[in-house]
Chain A
Amino acid sequence: MITHVGAVFIASFLASTVEFVEAFTIVLVIGATINWKSSLAGAGLGILALAAIVSILGTALVRFVPISALRLVVGVLLVLFGLKWLKKSIMRYAGLKALHDEEAIYEEQLAELRAAGKAKSSAIDPFGLVTSFKSVLLEGLEVAFIVITFGIQISGKGQGNGIAIASLAAALAFVVVVAIGAAVRAPLQRIPENTLKYVVGIMLTTFGTFWGGEGLGIVWWGSDIFLLVLAAFYLAVSWFLVTRLRPYGQAASIKTAEEAR
């Protein structure tokens, strides 16, 4: 039980941190260029919309859909999300994709807003509010689904209110990101985003495989202990893929350097 609840809390916290860091960059740009009132109001509305989606959809699913059917759907969704995150982080580790650069995104957004003629004002700016709202809602939507899918499993196993546990982790991630962001007042580029994404990718794929397999009727050896075997297997496979792809990443960076000369 502790394995599941603890892992759900950690996975929700890490996934939320990654997405909130991305959303925070946009919120920061709006705050710095237009005003903090519009930026924070938009972010607050985005958080409220996400909370509404999680509570309405989560409660409806738990109440009206049988857990055996949910287990399969949850498994498929988690494996899809997990593999998507794993693919991106493997490509970044191998050098096939640039590491996410919050500073570059910040500068790009800042330039766009300045080009659009947006300047500092004290009143609520509809454009700033909507942009901030959209960034929080869109970045948070994937987290909302992760919170719902993880939460449903814990609730379905009778291990407490899973959606509340996963939501608590997401809320904690939000507080941490905002607190760090408020302290540094700059894009959060020191957060090891790719490492977080990689860990979350492994966790989502592991749990998705386990719960999806259970939904199909597969009986895992050692029950919950097999989660560790799956996680170790996915870690080994993904690291093997990183080492196999690294030469391609190096070839691409050499070519770019030669072209720049």
Chain B
Amino acid sequence: MSEKTSKNPVVKALAAIYDFFAGDHVILAGVAAAFVIGAILVRTLHGPMAIDLIVFVALIVGGLVLTLAREAAGREKPHQ
């Protein structure tokens, strides 16, 4: 029996919801970090707004860069 068919329906439903909303754990982690760290910076540390803004956007972009780097790392390196 394949792994796919042996999964229980609840796990399958959760996996489908995850795929629908995120589908990529690196992007999900980056976005979660951006919003959690952003909230801490803005609401608790009350740092300069410029720092909050830069950290927030950088973490969002960081998730995208990391997931694409992982995709590239799994492939053959181009000849220089």
Whether A218 pairs with B56 at a CB distance below 8 angstroms is yes
Q: Tally chain A residues at the interface, Cβ within 8 Å.
A: 38
Q: B76 on the interface (CB 8 Å rule)? A: yes
Interface membership of A199, Cβ < 8 A? no
Chain B facing A: main interface SS? helix
Instruction: Indicate if B78 sits at the interface (CB-CB under 8 A).
Output: yes
A213 within 8 A of B: yes
Instruction: With A79-B31, A213-B38, A250-B78 as known contacts, state yes or no: A91 contacts B68, CB within 8 Å.
Output: yes
A171 to B64, CA, bound (A): 31
Contact status A251-B21, CB under 8 Å: no
Does B4 sit within 8 A of A, measured CB to CB? Answer: no
| A contact residues around B35 at 8 Å (CB) | 72, 75-76, 212, 216
- Cβ–Cβ contact B39 & A248, under 8 A: no
A176 at the interface (CB under 8 A from B): no
Query: Given contacts A241-B64, A245-B72, is CB(A83)–CB(B31) below 8 Å?
Result: yes
Q: In the complex, what distance in Å separates the CA atom of A83 from the CA atom of B63? A: 9
B56–A245 touching, CB < 8 Å = no
In the bound assembly, the distance between CA atoms of A113 and B79 in angstroms comes to 44
- Number of CB contacts from chain A to chain B under 8 A: 93
Contact of B65 among A75, A241, A250 (CB under 8 A): A241
Encoded as 1 (CB less than 8 Å from any A CB) or 0, chain B from 6 to 37 comes to: 00000000000000111110011011001100
> Are A205 and B60 neighbours in the complex by a CB distance under 8 Å?
yes
Per the 8 Å Cβ criterion, residues 13-72 of A in contact with B are 72
Q: Which of A206-252 contact B (CB under 8 A)?
A: 209, 212-213, 216-220, 230, 233-234, 237-238, 241, 245, 247-248, 250-252
Q: Which residue of B lies closest to A247 (CB)?
A: B78
Q: Tell me the smallest distance from the CB of A12 to a CB of chain B, in Å.
A: 18
Would you call B23 and A84 a contact (CB within 8 A)?
yes
Question: A142 in the interface, Cβ–Cβ < 8 Å?
Answer: yes
Of residues 184 through 202 on chain A, the ones whose CB sits less than 8 Å from some CB of chain B are none
Residues of B within 8 A of A134 (CB): none
Q: How far is the CA of A81 from the CA of B22 in the complex (A)?
A: 7
Question: Within 8 Å CB of A84, what residues of B?
Answer: 22-24, 27
Verify A218–B38 contact, CB threshold 8 A. yes
In the assembly, what is the distance between CA of A258 and CA of B64, in Å? Answer: 31
> Is A166 on the interface with B (CB-CB < 8 A)?
no
Chain B residues with CB under 8 Å of A220's CB are 53
Q: Are A216 and B64 in contact (CB under 8 A)?
A: no
Add 18 more A-B contacts to A218-B42, A241-B68 (CB < 8 A). A79-B31, A79-B34, A83-B27, A91-B71, A142-B20, A209-B57, A209-B60, A213-B38, A216-B56, A218-B38, A218-B52, A237-B64, A238-B64, A247-B78, A248-B75, A248-B77, A251-B77, A251-B79
A-B pairs with beta carbons under 8 Å apart, 12 shown = A75-B35, A79-B31, A87-B27, A213-B56, A216-B52, A217-B42, A218-B53, A233-B57, A234-B61, A238-B64, A241-B65, A251-B77
